């Protein structure tokens, strides 16, 4: 099955709420901070980086150089909390040299912003309840504050925060 770039929105509209931006991203020609519309070649300066998940830009040469390793990882998608591999260990060794301070040696990786927000909420609830129990206040502590008219994600907890 092949879909022409001029028919992408119509094709998607049959199955999802396709109310996103108008350009159809050219996955091969988009580069750096420039999103290329596959329909006509128009280049758009990306001002949102795919909600910050594309911080290094499109088709970054260092990412392209690792294409084979990335493809193997994507193809197999191991559960890294339970099954380990050399790629993961090499990544953590590199990451620890530049992003993990000695006083916080442990990290927890999660797949995406919504799940990160959900896990942060779970940690906050657990911390507050344990603090309250230690101080004799019982199991209270399941309320949180959040911004109004803000996007927090598209998963269970995060949808309840997003209005």
Arithmetic mean of pLDDT, 74-85: 90
Residues 93 and 137 in one domain: no
127 with 157, same domain?
yes
Q: What pLDDT, on a 0 to 100 scale, did the predictor assign at position 72? A: 94
Angle ∠(33,34,38) on CA atoms, nearest 5: 145
* CATH number of the domain within which 7 lies: 3.90.1150.10
Give the position of tokens 């901070």: 33
Same domain, yes or no, for 118 and 140?
A: yes
Answer yes or no: are the C-beta atoms of 140 and 149 closer than 8 Å.
Answer: no
Torsion of CA 66, 70, 71, 72, to 10 degrees: 110
**pLDDT at 57 > cutoff 90:** yes
Give yes or no: residues 101 and 117 share one domain: no
What is the chain's mean pLDDT, rounded?
91
Domains in the chain, number: 3
- Confidence at residue 127, expressed as pLDDT on a 0 to 100 scale: 92
Residue 81 confidence class, pLDDT cut points 50, 70, 90: confident
| Residue 85 in tokens | 């591999």
In this prediction, residue 24 has a pLDDT band, given cuts at 50, 70 and 90, of very high
In 3D space, the residue among 163, 123, 130, 114 whose CA is nearest the CA of residue 144 turns out to be: 123
- Band of residue 50 on the pLDDT scale cut at 50, 70, 90: confident
Q: Are strands 34-36 and 43-45 parallel, antiparallel or unpaired?
A: antiparallel
Q: Is the pLDDT of residue 147 over 90?
A: no
For residue 3, the enclosing domain spans 1-58
> Which pLDDT does position 113 carry in this prediction?
86
Stated pTM of the model: 0.70
Q: How confident is the model at residue 154 (pLDDT cuts 50, 70, 90)?
A: confident
Is the pLDDT at 104 greater than 90? The verdict is yes
E strands within the chain? Answer: 34-36, 43-45
* % the chain with pLDDT above 70: 100
pLDDT for residue 158 is more than 80: yes
Residues 102 and 148 in one domain: no
Both 118 and 83 in one domain: the answer is no
> pLDDT class for 143, splitting at 50, 70, 90?
confident
CB 38 within 8 A of CB 44: no
């Amino acid at each position: 099955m092949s879909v022409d770039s001029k028919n992408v929105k119509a094709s998607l509209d049959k199955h999802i709420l396709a109310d996103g931006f108008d350009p159809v991203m050219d996955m091969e020609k988009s580069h750096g901070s420039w999103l290329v519309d596959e329909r006509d070649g128009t280049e758009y300066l990306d001002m949102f980086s795919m909600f910050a998940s594309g911080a290094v830009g499109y088709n970054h040469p260092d990412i392209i150089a690792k294409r084979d390793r990335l493809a193997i990882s994507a193809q197999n998608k191991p559960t890294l909390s339970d099954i380990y591999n050399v790629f993961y260990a090499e990544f953590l060794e590199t990451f620890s040299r530049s992003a993990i301070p000695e006083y916080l040696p442990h990290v927890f990786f999660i797949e995406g912003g919504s799940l990160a927000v959900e896990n942060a909420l779970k940690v906050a609830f657990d911390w507050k309840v344990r603090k309250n129990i230690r101080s004799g206040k019982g199991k209270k502590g399941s309320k949180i504050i959040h911004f109004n008219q803000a996007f927090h994600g598209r998963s269970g907890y995060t949808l309840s925060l997003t209005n």
